[in-house]
Amino acid sequence: MDFSKAFDSVKHDLLSVKLKQIGLSPYITNWYLSFLEGRKQRLLYDGFFGQWKDVSKGTMQGSVSGPHLFTIFLNDLEISLNGKDILFKYADDTNIVLPVWKEQGNSMDIYNGKHYKQLHGTAMGSPVSVVIAEIVMQNIEERALSTCRQTIPLWLRYVDDTFTAVRHDEIDAFHNHLNEQNTDIQFTREVEENGKLPFLDCLVSHNDNSLRTTVYRKPTHTDRLLDESSYNPTSHKATTIRTLTRRAQLVCDSTDSLSDENKYLHRVFTKNNYNNDFIRRNTHRPTTTTETNDTATPTTTATIPYIKGMSENISRILLPFNIRVAHKPITTLRQLLTNVKDKDEPRNRQGTIYKINCSDCQASYIGETGRNLTTRLTEHRRATRKGDVSNHIAEHHRLTNHNIDWDSAQCLTYSTDYFQRLTLESWFTNLEQTPLNRCQQLPAPYKRLIHDLNITNDRKRTT
More confident site: 456 or 208: 208
Q: What is the pLDDT of residues 181-229, one digit of tens each?
A: 988 889 999 999 888 999 999 999 987 778 899 999 999 999 999 999 9
Q: Is 318:355 a contact under the CB 8 Å cutoff?
A: no
pLDDT for position 184: 87
pLDDT for position 42: 73
Query: What's the mean pLDDT in 241-257?
Result: 93
> For helices 171-179 and 127-147, what crossing angle results, to 10°?
130
Which of 58-62, 151-155, 304-308, 349-353 is predicted least confidently?
A: 58-62
The domain spans of the chain are 6-117, 127-191, 196-287, 300-336, 347-462
* Three-state SS sequence of the chain: CECHHHHHCCEHHHHHHHHHHCCCCHHHHHHHHHCCCCCEECCEECCEECCCEECCECCCCCCCCHHHHHHHHHHHHHHHCCCCCEEEEECCEEEEECCCHHHCCCCEEEECCEEEECCCCCCCCCHHHHHHHHHHHHHHHHHHHHHCCCCCCEEEEECCEEEEECCHHHHHHHHHHHHCCCCCCCCCCCCCECCEEEECCEEEEEECCEEEEEECCCCCCCCCCCCCCCCCCHHHHHHHHHHHHHHHHHHCCCHHHHHHHHHHHHHHHHHCCCCHHHHHHHCCCCCCCCCCCCCCCCCEEEEEECCCCHHHHHHHHHHHHCEEEEEECCCCHHHHHCCCCCCCCHHHCCCEEEEEEECCCCCEEEEEECCCHHHHHHHHHHHHHHCCCCCHHHHHHHHHCCCEEEEEEEEEEECCCHHHHHHHHHHHHHHCCCECCCCCCCCHHHHHHHHHHHHHHHHHHHC
Q: What is the pLDDT of residues 307-363, one digit of tens each?
A: 888 888 888 898 888 888 898 888 777 667 666 666 667 888 889 999 999 999 999
More confident site: 349 or 270: 270
Query: Considering the chain, what percentage of its residues have pLDDT values greater than 90?
Result: 36
pLDDT for position 92: 57
